[in-house]
Amino acid sequence: MNWFINDLSFSGQYSTNDEFIDFLQKLLKLRNDNAVIKSNLYCSRILPQLKVVRNNTLRDVVNASKNKLIKGQLLEWLNKKGPFWDDDRQTISDDDFELFDTVITDQGAAEAARQTILGKNASLFSLENASPCCSHTPLKIMQILDDLSQVPHDITNHWKLSQLIEHSDTLNIEAVNWPQLIEQVAEQYSHLIISDTILKSLLSQPFSPIISRRVSVLLSILNQLIGSRNENGEYTPATHAIFEKHFAGDRPLFTDESVSNKRTFKKQLTFSDSHNQNIFCSWHGKISHRSFRLHFEFPLPATKKRMEISYIGCKLTK
Q: Tell me, what's the pLDDT at 253?
A: 95
Is the pLDDT at 172 greater than 70, yes or no? no
The pair phi, psi for residue 47, each rounded to 5°, is -55, -45
> What's the number of CA atoms in the CB half-sphere (13 Å) around residue 24?
27
Instruction: Please give the single-letter amino acid code of residue 128.
Output: E
- What are the pLDDT digits (tens) for 191-234? 999 999 999 999 999 999 999 989 999 998 999 899 889 889 99
Helix, strand, coil % over all residues of the chain, rounded to 5: 40, 20, 40
Q: Tell me, what's the pLDDT at 170?
A: 73
- What are the pLDDT digits (tens) for 74-116? 888 998 889 999 998 998 989 999 999 999 999 999 999 999 9
Residue 153 CB coordination number (10 Å): 23
Where in the chain are the domains? 2-165, 174-314
- What are the pLDDT digits (tens) for 271-314? 999 999 999 999 999 999 999 999 999 999 999 999 999 999 99
